[in-house]
Amino acid sequence: MAHQYHPLGFEGSRIAQGYWRLAEWGMSDQELLSFIEQSIAAGITTVDHADIYGDYQCESLFGRALALKPSLRDKLQIITKCGIRLPSKNRPEIASHRYDQSVQHILQSVDNSLQNLKVDHIELLLLHRPSPLMDADHIAEAFEHLHTVGKVRHFGVSNFNPQQFDLLQSRLEMPLLVNQVELSPLELKHFEDGTLEHAQQHAVTPMAWSPFAGGDMFRLEGINPTLFKALTEVSEAHNASLDQIALAWLMRHPSGIAPVIGSGSIERVLSAQQAQSIELSDDQWFAIWVASKGHPVP
Amino acid sequence: MAHQYHPLGFEGSRIAQGYWRLAEWGMSDQELLSFIEQSIAAGITTVDHADIYGDYQCESLFGRALALKPSLRDKLQIITKCGIRLPSKNRPEIASHRYDQSVQHILQSVDNSLQNLKVDHIELLLLHRPSPLMDADHIAEAFEHLHTVGKVRHFGVSNFNPQQFDLLQSRLEMPLLVNQVELSPLELKHFEDGTLEHAQQHAVTPMAWSPFAGGDMFRLEGINPTLFKALTEVSEAHNASLDQIALAWLMRHPSGIAPVIGSGSIERVLSAQQAQSIELSDDQWFAIWVASKGHPVP
Amino acid sequence: MAHQYHPLGFEGSRIAQGYWRLAEWGMSDQELLSFIEQSIAAGITTVDHADIYGDYQCESLFGRALALKPSLRDKLQIITKCGIRLPSKNRPEIASHRYDQSVQHILQSVDNSLQNLKVDHIELLLLHRPSPLMDADHIAEAFEHLHTVGKVRHFGVSNFNPQQFDLLQSRLEMPLLVNQVELSPLELKHFEDGTLEHAQQHAVTPMAWSPFAGGDMFRLEGINPTLFKALTEVSEAHNASLDQIALAWLMRHPSGIAPVIGSGSIERVLSAQQAQSIELSDDQWFAIWVASKGHPVP
């Protein structure tokens, strides 16, 4: 089930398990360990973190569970992110919500992540947001250092537009493998602003955050009845759930979208994983597109 | 009067005769043959088709007329398009209006076009619309095959933005020669969104569809009195009609715009062809620009 | 204090003195000479002109003052611009406000500028505005000629977007060094439309015109109280004026923004020059950004 994220490297699972709400799940370390094991057993081996998730606590919670069974480490591909500073009782030194993409911040953030996750390297580090104050040379210096010392294997970005991507890539020897952006049948913006064309051109994997539009997919009937009807018709044809169809719809795109799911329910995880076997016809794909746009294709 | 559409090839006429309304003209095969002959005699040798024009009938009507005098074939450069599926009584197998840019669809569409037009090759094939589901590798595979077997000489696109163009070009050995987009004194969008700069940079010919804004040029006084006044002043200075000035205005652009006209009246065709000899001054060009924008240049 | 505008050349002062309002200052030639000398003494050696400033009079006024002390010439780096035609009693041959970027116009405009400024070369010529009728080959021909004959040392543009920049650069052997655009804490547009990313990627210096938003910076309390408050807090922390903070904020950007100031008051000039020693913290930079945007960073 390994999925190639880029011609030059990084094999992960096509669907990644996101842990941004882990602190809300209320799991004991043992329960989380069990959840991780079941996810791996189902084939979801790529996990998506960020330093700031859960008020800077999610990485630690994950690390504590992982420490209960260190042999799991090699079965996982760990993604984490850096570059945002968030005021928090856990980080009293942070005065305001802003970006920090200095060499010092990136190196320190990765060291924190390694310590919290209790691992000696991470597979993929993403810059969390493009900063209006982005200095591509500084970021490249930090990335190259992290690569050289072996703390990070691969690099990517999140929420970057093509111009921002090109700027950072121009300073790096290594390819940026991933651009994690918001994509769902309810959020078509990046299908139309050049992001997916740019990703396809450069063989960069778009990862989809919020593939269920922050949960709107589950209350769609009231939000967008037209899209609800279209998704429902397709879901009935495949004997699948709406969220499975949303994932299958994303994965049908030729840019090779890799969705990040975020549920702590193992049933939902298994259901998502099964979505990989659903093959939408082009008629079905466009029925969803047209319903979301609200008008036929030109 | 041959016009070079790209440094690496394709000579056609600067103005192309479009046949998207051919089915509405009510011509007999003999009348259409006469129209084609007169157009060629006037110097308009490039004809613009699409598989879907006239509910999939225009290519056939043209092919029937052409079959009456096969020697005309070599005097024409035939453009046609593919990539859209349109529900039609003539295509009962098509369930919904969507794009199809699979290898199979492109190859089948070209075979249909060759059969309908009763020719063994076409000079220029355009992808009709960018699809949100565009797979550049599939399109490139189809284009390369069509080129190798000699069914299509040259390739281009229609309604593509620069990012979409770059994506497809990145997968092709051959240059895309043309991007056919809507351009007219009433439709300035692509003058300002990077399309024409991109075309000029890469020596791609922008073809202008709807150079008379779907006929609005002929009822301009009620639609846009300011633009009507500006065009009228220029037309009087050149002793020309408004539509001639619209064409001359497009052809004055340094990107080398090639307009596609669509009238079945040979008088209109001759009038359009004569527009090539009208040379607008820069003052005249900007007077039309400023009138259409509704404010002076910054 | 020399500032490198581009890796391949052009050293100027980081802050340029703009002369677009020179005709309104009411200075005698001797007073202007004194102003120029004091500016040079303060380290502001780069001067920013355009053919059209002051109804085509500013270059001449400057040239008359410079002629009083020719030895100053070599201490200055002169920027001027061309490409706009403005109706004026001083140019009765101009019928309408439009762009002219023909070879003939560019060469003539530079000859006029040299004659008005009473110098035999200028250091940096900018195309003043992108024209919808821009012919990159013509502009390149003019630029290459001016470079060869020694009338202009370096070239750049003003108000260009990345697509327009790439088009013109594609036709030039020499790099375009500068893109002069509107940038200020009140005008964030080019921080978000790719202009600064493109400049940073290609090591092009963005020069900032209207760094005080046409004077709005000095009546900010009524215009944008939130931004006024943020700038005031930062200015108090540095014991500096609001306009100094605006300049320091621009110069903190990693693209290397070079501001163009426009005051005829030597006190203002000295104050601006001192802004170079103010180093904003990232917290301060983002406090101003967030106040101007009106919402936190995402």
pLDDT tens per residue across span A52-67: 999 999 999 999 999 9
Q: Hey, CA dihedral for A288, A292, A293, A296, is it positive or negative? A: positive
d(CA B232, CA B222) in angstroms, rounded, equals 13
d(CA A238, CA A279) in angstroms, rounded, equals 9
C188 vs A contacts (CB less than 8 Å)? 132
- Which two tokens mark C38? 């004091």
Residue of C nearest to A138 (CA): C254
Categorize the per-residue pLDDT at C116 as very low, low, confident or very high, splitting at 50, 70 and 90: very high
Supply the pLDDT for residue A266: 97
A163 with C194: Cβ contact below 8 A: yes
| Residue B83: pLDDT over 70 | yes
- Which two tokens mark A43? 């084939």
C197 with A97: Cβ contact below 8 A: no
- Nearest CB neighbour to B133, from listed A254, A296, A298: A254
Q: What is the pLDDT of residues A223-260, one digit of tens each?
A: 999 999 999 999 999 999 999 999 999 999 999 999 99
B167 with A201: Cβ contact below 8 A: yes
Half-sphere exposure of A8 (CA within 13 A, CB side): 13
The DSSP H or E segment spanning B101 is none
Residue of A nearest to C253 (CA): A133
Cβ contact A79:A49 at 8 Å = yes
Tell me what the mean pLDDT of segment B101-127 comes to: 98
Alpha helices in chain B (DSSP H): 22-25, 29-42, 53-56, 58-67, 103-117, 136-148, 162-170, 189-192, 195-202, 220-223, 225-238, 242-251, 266-274, 282-293
Chains that touch C (3 or more CB pairs under 8 A): A, B
Provide the annotated active-site residues of B.
53
| Residue A44: pLDDT over 80 | yes
d(CA A123, CA A45) in angstroms, rounded, equals 12
Cβ contact A15:A261 at 8 Å = yes
Q: What is the pLDDT of residues C208-222, one digit of tens each?
A: 999 999 999 999 999
Strand C77-82 with C46-48, pairing: parallel
Residue of A nearest to B94 (CA): A283
Categorize the per-residue pLDDT at B258 as very low, low, confident or very high, splitting at 50, 70 and 90: very high
B52 vs A contacts (CB less than 8 Å)? none
Q: How many angstroms separate the most distant Cα atoms in chain A?
A: 56
Helix, coil or strand: residue A130: coil
Interface of B with C (CB under 8 A): 162, 188, 191-192, 194, 197-198, 200-201, 252-254, 282-283, 285-287, 289-290, 296-298
ipTM of the complex: 0.96
A96 with C297: Cβ contact below 8 A: no
Supply the pLDDT for residue B9: 87
Catalytic-labelled residue, pool A5, A53, A56, A99: A53
Radius of gyration of chain B (CA): 19
Share of chain C above pLDDT 90, in %: 98
Q: What is the pLDDT of residues B154-165, one digit of tens each?
A: 999 999 999 999
- Which two tokens mark C46? 């780069």
d(CA A219, CA A225) in angstroms, rounded, equals 10
Half-sphere exposure of B112 (CA within 13 A, CB side): 20
- Phi, psi for A224 (deg, rounded to 5): -145, 85
CB-count exposure of residue B74 (10 Å: 0-12, 13-18, 19+): exposed
Architecture of the domain made up of B2-182: Alpha-Beta Barrel (3.20)
A287 with B96: Cβ contact below 8 A: yes
Chains that touch B (3 or more CB pairs under 8 A): A, C
- The Cα of A249 is separated from the nearest Cα of chain B by a number of Å equal to 11
A164 with C290: Cβ contact below 8 A: no
**Mean pLDDT value across chain A:** 97
Q: What is the pLDDT of residues B116-137, one digit of tens each?
A: 999 999 999 999 999 999 999 9
- The Cα of B167 is separated from the nearest Cα of chain A by a number of Å equal to 5
Tell me what the mean pLDDT of segment B38-54 comes to: 98
- Nearest CB neighbour to B254, from listed C100, C134, C170: C134
Cβ contact B178:B124 at 8 Å = yes
Helix, coil or strand: residue C228: helix
| Residue B257: pLDDT over 90 | yes
Q: Which residues contact B8 (CB under 8 A, 6 or more apart)?
A: B175, B177
- The Cα of B161 is separated from the nearest Cα of chain C by a number of Å equal to 12
The DSSP H or E segment spanning B264 is none
In angstroms, how far is CA C226 from the centroid of its own chain?
28
Supply the pLDDT for residue B1: 57
| Residue B270: pLDDT over 70 | yes
**Domain positions in chain A:** 2-182
Tell me what the mean pLDDT of segment B29-44 comes to: 98
Instruction: Encode burial over A147-179: b for 16+ CB neighbours within 10 A, e otherwise.
Output: beeebbbbbbbbbbbbbbbbbbbebeeebbbbb
Provide the annotated active-site residues of C.
53
Categorize the per-residue pLDDT at A1 as very low, low, confident or very high, splitting at 50, 70 and 90: low
- Which two tokens mark A25? 């799940």
Residue of A nearest to B135 (CA): A254
C136 with B282: Cβ contact below 8 A: no
C163 with B197: Cβ contact below 8 A: yes
Interface of C with A (CB under 8 A): 162, 188, 191-192, 194, 197-198, 200-201, 252-254, 282-283, 285-287, 289-290, 296-298
Cβ contact A296:A290 at 8 Å = yes
| Residue C139: pLDDT over 60 | yes
Tell me what the mean pLDDT of segment B257-275 comes to: 97
User: How far is the first Cα of chain C from the last one, in angstroms, to the nearest whole number?
Assistant: 37
Residue of C nearest to A169 (CA): C201
In angstroms, how far is CA A166 from the centroid of its own chain?
20
Among A30, A19, A209, CA closest to A116? A19
Tell me which of A86-95, B73-82, B188-197, C115-124 is least confident: A86-95
**Mean pLDDT value across chain B:** 97
| Residue C207: pLDDT over 70 | yes
- Which two tokens mark C292? 């101007």
- The Cα of C280 is separated from the nearest Cα of chain A by a number of Å equal to 12
Strand B152-158 with B176-182, pairing: parallel
d(CA A216, CA A287) in angstroms, rounded, equals 19
Interface of A with B (CB under 8 A): 162, 188, 191-192, 194, 197-198, 200-201, 252-254, 282-283, 285-287, 289-290, 296-298
Tell me what the mean pLDDT of segment B277-284 comes to: 97
The DSSP H or E segment spanning C271 is helix C266-274
Q: pTM of the prediction?
A: 0.97
Residue of A nearest to B132 (CA): A191
- DSSP state at residue C75: G
Strand partners, A2: A13
Q: Measuring CA to CA, how many Å separate C99 from each of A207, B247, B258?
A: 45, 21, 23
A290 vs B contacts (CB less than 8 Å)? 98
Sheet strands (E) in chain A:
2-4, 11-13, 16-18, 46-48, 77-82, 84-85, 98-99, 122-127, 152-158, 176-182, 205-209, 258-261
Tell me what the mean pLDDT of segment C235-242 comes to: 98
A286 with B96: Cβ contact below 8 A: yes
Q: Hey, CA dihedral for A47, A52, A56, A57, is it positive or negative? A: negative
Q: What is the pLDDT of residues A135-188, one digit of tens each?
A: 999 999 999 999 999 999 999 999 999 999 999 999 999 999 999 999 999 999
- Phi, psi for B233 (deg, rounded to 5): -60, -45
C297 with A97: Cβ contact below 8 A: yes
Residue of B nearest to C95 (CA): B283
Strand partners, C258: C207
| Residue C1: pLDDT over 60 | no
A84 vs C contacts (CB less than 8 Å)? 297
Alpha helices in chain C (DSSP H): 22-25, 29-42, 53-56, 58-67, 103-117, 136-148, 162-170, 189-192, 195-202, 220-223, 225-238, 242-251, 266-274, 282-293
- Mutation choice for A interface testing from C197, C250, C288, C289 by most A CBs within 10 A: C197
Using the structure block, give the residue that is written with the tokens 């085509």: C56
Supply the pLDDT for residue A2: 87
